[in-house]
Structure 1
Amino acid sequence: MVKKITQTAGRTMLGGFAPEFAHFNDDILFGENWNNQDIGIKTRCIITVVALMSQGIADSSLKFHLQNAKNNGVSQKEIVAIITHTAFYTGWPKGWAVFNLAKEIWQINEGDLPYEDEGMRAHVKEMAFPIGEFNEAFAEYFTNSIETW
C-alpha cells in the first residue's frame, strides 16, 4: 500500500488569512493531485522541480521540493542530470540558481551504489544494513575466492 501524502502547510501558514487557498493547497493540490497513482511519486517530484525551475523559482518552495525529491529516491547524480538537461531549455542562470539549492540537499556522490539494475538499487536502499562497496580487506583469511562471488 502506498503511503498517503498529507500536507498542512496551507492551513498552518495561511489558514486564518486565506482559508480557501489553504484548502486548495492542502486538500486538492497535495491531498488529491499528489496522491494520484497514475504516475509515481519520484516522477512527480522530478516534474515539480523542473516546473519550478522553468519558472525561475529558486526560493524555499523549490528547496522543499528538492528535499522531497531526495526523500523519494532522486539521487545526487540524477538531480545533476535533471538540472543540467533542464538548464538547456529554461536558461543557464536558472540552472546555476537551482544547483546552489541542490548542493544544500545532496552531497557529492551521495547515495551512489555500485548496481546498474534500478530494481537492485531500490532494494539495497530499503535494507536496514545496506550492501556497500566490495571489501577485500580480509580476503586472505577466507578460502572462497573473489572470482566465485
Structure 2
Amino acid sequence: MKHKLIRSSVRETVGDFAPAFVDYTEKVLFGDVWRRGQLSLRERSLITVATLVAGEHVSQLPYHLNLAKENGISEEELVEIITQLAFYVGWPRAASAIQIAKDVFCKEKESLA
C-alpha cells in the first residue's frame, strides 16, 4: 500500500533555478521513497528529523518538523527526540534544533491566535 503524496515546497523555492532537482524531489523522493509502504509516514518522519538533527542540516528542519506533525508526531514527542539526540549527536546540534523547533511551534501558535 502506498502512502499519501507528500507536498514539497522545493518547486516554489528553487523551481526556476534547478528544475531537475525539483523533478527528483517530487518524483523520486516524495513521489516514490516516502510513499513506499514498508515504513509508516510517522516512522519516516522520525528517521528524517533525527538524521537532520544529527547532521546539523537545520535549513531543512522547519519543513520536516511540520511534516512530522502532519504524520502524527506531537510537538512534545519531537522535543523529546531532540533532547535524547543531544546525548548521541552533540549538545550544540540539539540546542540548534531545539531553538528551531521552538521558533516553528511558537510561530504556528501565534498564527492561530
Q: TM-score, normalised by structure 1?
A: 0.63
List gaps (5 residues or longer) in structure 2: 107-113
Question: Relative CO higher for 1 or 2, CA cutoff 8 Å, sep ≥ 6?
Answer: 2
Q: Residue 10 of structure 2 aligns to which amino acid in structure 1? A: G
CA distance in 1, matches of 2:8, 2:83: 32
CA distance in 1, matches of 2:6, 2:56: 26
- Secondary structure in 2 aligned to 1:37? coil
Q: How has the CA–CA distance of structure 1 residues 26 and 81 changed in structure 2, closer, same or farther, with 3 Å as cutoff?
A: same
Give aligned pairs, total: 106
- For 1:81-125, what per-residue CA distance to the aligned partner results, in whole angstroms no more than 9, with x for missing partners? 211111111110111111112223447xxxxxxxxxxxxxxxxxx
Query: Given that residues 63 and 101 in structure 1 are in contact (C-alpha distance below 8 angstroms), is that contact kept between their aligned partners in structure 2?
Result: yes
Q: How has the CA–CA distance of structure 1 residues 24 and 88 changed in structure 2, closer, same or farther, with 3 Å as cutoff?
A: same
- Secondary structure in 2 aligned to 1:100? helix
Q: Percent identity?
A: 36
- For 1:38-66, what per-residue CA distance to the aligned partner results, in whole angstroms no more than 9, with x for missing partners? 1000111111111111111222x201101
List gaps (5 residues or longer) in structure 1: 108-149
More helix by share: 2
Which residue matches 1:21?
Answer: 21
CA distance in 1, matches of 2:8, 2:41: 18
CA distance in 2, matches of 1:98, 1:23: 28
Runs of 4+ in 1 over 6 A off after TM superposition: none
Query: Given that residues 8 and 30 in structure 2 are in contact (C-alpha distance below 8 angstroms), is that contact kept between their aligned partners in structure 1?
Result: no
Q: TM-score, normalised by structure 2?
A: 0.80
Q: How has the CA–CA distance of structure 1 residues 86 and 70 changed in structure 2, closer, same or farther, with 3 Å as cutoff?
A: same
